[in-house]
Amino acid sequence: MEYSGERERGETELLKAKMFMSLGKTAEAEGALAEAESAFRKIDDDSLLSDVFVARSQIRLCQGRVPQALGDIEGALEVGRSVASKAKKGHMLFYRGLAFLAMGREEDAHRDLNEYIQISEDLDDRHAQFLGHFYHALTYERHGEPCMASAELEIAKDLVKEGEPALKGRLDAFLAHLWLRRGELNEAEILETETLNLIIGDIEKVGAANLGMAFLMRAEILAMKGERKRDVEIFNQSIQIFKTSRYGLYYEALAYSWFGETLIRVGRAAEGAEMLERARSVYERLSNAAQVQNIDARMADLRCSALTSIV
C-alpha cells in the first residue's frame, strides 16, 4: 500500500494495530506498532509516538510482560507529557498504575491512581472514575488495608450507571470477599445474593472480570460453609473465566491468593498452601516481588504451625 507521507503511514499502521488488538492478534498488532513507531519518529511527532507506546504497553500488560509494559508507558509519559491533553495524561497514568499494581509496587500505584481519579473528576468521566476507584481498592487490599479498600468500593458503587449492573456486581463480589476476611459470613451472603441478581448471562454479555469475580466470591462462600467439592469446582470455573479477561494473569494470581487463604482459614491448610504456591508462580511471572515475599512468609508460618501441632 502506498502512502502520501510518513504521517499517513503511521496513522494507518496504528489503526491496524488497534484492530489487531481487538481481534487478539498480538503478533500482528506489534508488527503494525513497530511500523507506526518508525513513521512517527521520522516526522518527530511526540504525541502520536506516545500513542504507539500506550498501545504496546496494553498488549504487554495483557500478556503479563509487566516490566516491558511499564517501560513502554514510561516512554509514553516521557515523550508525550508536554503535548498530551489532560485526558490522555490520565490514560497514561492509569496504565502505569496498573503496571505498578501488577508488580506489587503499591505506593507507586496509589500515586498514579489518585492522580488518574482526580483527572477523571475534572473531566466528569464517571466510568473512568469507577475504574480508578476499583483498581485503587485492589491496591489497598493487596497492601493489607481492607477498610480503605471497602471505602473505595463504596465510592465506585455510586458511580455505576443504571445500565451497567454487572459492574456493580463486581464491586459487591469484592465487598463480599472483604466481609469474609472479617469472618462475617452473613454479610457476605447478602452481597452474594445481590451479585447473582446483577451478573446474569454469559461472558460476552457481562464481561469476564465481572463474572470471574462472582464465581470466585461464590467459591469462597461455599468453602466457608464446608461444601468441599462444590467450592473447588466453582473456583476452577472462576480461573477459566479470568483466563479470558483482559488482565487474566493478574486476576488468576489474585484468585489463587484469595481462595488459598480462605481454605487455610477453614482448616484446609494443605489445599490452601497449594493455591498459594500457584499464586506465587503467577506473581513471579508478573515480576511481583512483594507478593512473592508475602507468600513465602505465609508458607513459612504454615510450616511452623504444622511442626508445632506435631510436637
Sole residue written with cell 485503587: 136
The pLDDT assigned to 294 comes to: 94
The pLDDT assigned to 53 comes to: 94
Q: Which CATH architecture has domain 1-84?
A: Alpha Horseshoe (1.25)
Contact 195, 169 (CB under 8 A): yes
CA angle 237, 240, 241 (to 5 degrees): 85
State whether residue 191 is helix, strand or coil: helix
Give the residue-averaged pLDDT of 240-246: 93
Q: Which three cell numbers stand for residue 230?
A: 462444590
Closest alpha carbon to 80 in 47, 44, 52, 55: 47
Closest alpha carbon to 128 in 93, 99, 175, 162: 93
Q: Helix H segments across 200-268?
A: 203-206, 208-224, 228-242, 248-265
The pLDDT assigned to 163 comes to: 76
Distance CA 304, CA 141 (A): 26
311 pLDDT higher than 50: no
Sole residue written with cell 482459614: 265
Give the CB-side neighbour count of residue 100, counting CA atoms within 13 A: 22
The pLDDT assigned to 200 comes to: 85
Where does residue 284 rank: exposed (0-12), middle (13-18), buried (19+ CB within 10 A)?
middle
124: left (phi over 0), alpha (psi -120 to 50) or beta: left
The pLDDT assigned to 2 comes to: 60
Closest alpha carbon to 139 in 119, 124, 159, 117: 117
Whole-angstrom CA distances from 18 to 54, 55, 84, 240, 259 are 11, 8, 19, 25, 35
Whole-angstrom CA distances from 226 to 85, 229, 248, 265 are 53, 9, 28, 11
Asked which of 59-73, 193-207, 251-265, 284-298 is least confident by mean pLDDT, the reply is 193-207
The pLDDT assigned to 246 comes to: 87
Average pLDDT over the chain reads 92
Q: Which three cell numbers stand for residue 152?
A: 473505595
State whether residue 239 is helix, strand or coil: helix
| DSSP letter, residue 176 | H
Where does residue 245 rank: exposed (0-12), middle (13-18), buried (19+ CB within 10 A)?
buried
Residues 6 or more apart whose Cβ sits within 8 Å of residue 176: 187, 188, 189, 191, 192, 195, 217, 220, 221
| pTM score above 0.85 | yes
Tens digits of per-residue pLDDT, 37-57? 999 999 998 889 999 999 999
The pLDDT assigned to 308 comes to: 52
Instruction: Show me where the domains of the chain are located.
Output: 1-84, 87-155
